[in-house]
Structure 1
Amino acid sequence: MKTALTELVGIRHPIVQTGMGWVAGPRLVSATAEAGGLGILASATMSYDELEAAVKETKNRTSRPFGVNLRADAEDAPKRVELLIRENVRVASFALAPRQEMIARLKDNGVVVIPSIGAARHAVKVAGWGADAVIVQGGEGGGHTGGVATTLLLPSVLDAVDIPVVAAGGFFDGRGLAAALAYGAAGVAMGTRFLLTRESTVPDAVKRAYLERGLTDTVVTRKVDGMPHRVLRTDLVDALERSGPAMGLARAARNAVRFRRLTGGSWRALVREGVAMKRGNDRTWSQVLMAANTPMLLRAGLVEGDTGAGVLASGQVVGLLADLPSVAELVERIVTDAEAAIGRLGSL
């Protein structure tokens, strides 16, 4: 199934596994690459040394293209960019818009740049800076998300730019891929569906907790880190929703200390990244501080398996998922079902 995305990146199928923090490691990413899709390593929750090791391990597991998700506002972002160039990583993706000079540095060295965006105006901006493609996530998606549904956001972006657009938010099967292609997208990106595969390192008990949920069992909350965040509804999330601002800031301060220890960052780096975050996203200082909650609360659930003390990011599609296929089985099923759906349309 050739599209502008498969031609750009050199993959067989227009399917992207997103860079989910604490989830998208070498095992999942290499399995996706071997299945013909684009797997993306999540580096925001890794130290530089951990990222370097993860890139090398992924290359040992597969010779096919894969990507790395970077934080453009991280203090060591330039060093990480050089790592991708040195290791011949095929794709650099970004959750926040990278600087124009960063895009140029990557492209000049053969790295495909694919930022994630949440509005048509953001797509226009990064396209003007030289981005090769964009991933656009509608409000159905898990983690940080917006308020506009994919069915409206996707066409608005497609009308605004002439680079390949990958659709995310609400995709999990072949019908969704066929629908995205019908809109004009070059492929789909999925997080929750790949989280619930056998190669995902999320603890089995946590996977079972996901599979037990229905379509109405996610909630968009600002109490995790001050930004809209779609997660599974749990007792902890309900408690966060009821908590006052003082309690949230105290928790965030503790988590900032814990995250600094885990990633080996300095206090100076944390302050600098906080200033950059505030300047680039119009956040208040309390929201900047609360951002420290995200990696640690996610880690408690997705790595440590503590659903009582952790937050579980999830798209609304969780309510339609009932199995834990291998990545190879999942990708093959999606492509087969998409081809069948397109065939049915052709007979109308």
Structure 2
Amino acid sequence: MQELDRLVGALVRRKAGGAETDASHGCDGTRRELPSAPVLLTHFVRRCVVVAAAAALAGCGATAPQGTITFSGVVEGTPGIYDVDVNGTHLRRLAVAGSQLAWSPDGSSLAFVRDGGIWTVSPPDATARRVVRGPVYEYSWSPDGSRFAYRGDDFRLLVATRGGAVRRLTGDGRDPVWSPDGTLVAFLTSVAHINDQGEDEYVAVVRPDGTGRQRMQVALATGVAWSPDSRRLTFAAPAEGLRDGSAARLYTTRVDGTDLRVVVPQARFDPQGGDWSPDGARIAYADATGTWVVDSDGGHLHRVSALAFAAWSRDGKWVAVQGARVVEVVPASGGTARRVIDADSIDSVTWRPG
């Protein structure tokens, strides 16, 4: 009974002269209303309060992160590509090695780079198959999972089918990213200075057949990413007059280059681009101080972790972050991180769709 009284006392604030409603916080940081209780609680009422409190705490499970985290690294001395439930259980080895992990949009096949080419594996079948010979430096799945856009030798951008057929996309570029609706490929392209040595990089877009190429107007861009509705792009570029990368801005723009908006006017150090949440409401990016989340209109900028950004959860409520030997997930609104796994080393990390 003393333990029961102690629990009730922690949940209900007593006021002289009557009852009050006390609000507690769930595990996701949201406020939950707990039932009212009089100052003098009968045994029956105390039991009701405890049952209600247990129900409130049980609601935490509904907001817990779901799915699996996929990463490349070394676990207990064994290198490989691994899949692990986000709660840290059921560790599975999918392939012997690889980098630049990316799940197909439907979550059925995992692509990765190994020996200069693109390989895929489709769990539970653990047989890895080489689908693009390469050389491949960066790549992106098409939304229907049938093709890859990638950078080959001499900064040529190419498109390859999973059957191996390859054709040219554009003559110069890197970091291709397919739009979610499949109509465009965004990439970074270098433009030489007219009256000076050197060159700057800009964001550009092109249709998958190689036509309709268009370049944005902000120089020294990095980290291009699409909004989920394919209407806008985000990228980072140095703040005005700071070409040394000591500070940068995070931008969004329409696909045609109009409506350029500064989302983060003064990012700390050089941000590594951004990645939109699945609902398009927020953007996560990494800089030298950790992972930050900001509303897509520029509001509510906050740091969620000192570790580097890795991926969004599919519901947009959680962010996966990584260190040299650890993977964690943290609420996108801020809060306590949950450890997924400790390893000898961690390289590429992604969140499996589905």
Which TM-score applies when normalising by structure 2? Answer: 0.24
Greater share of helix:
1
Answer 1 or 2: which has greater strand percent.
Answer: 2
Bigger relative contact order (CA 8 A; separation at least 6) = 1
TM-score scaled by structure 1? 0.24
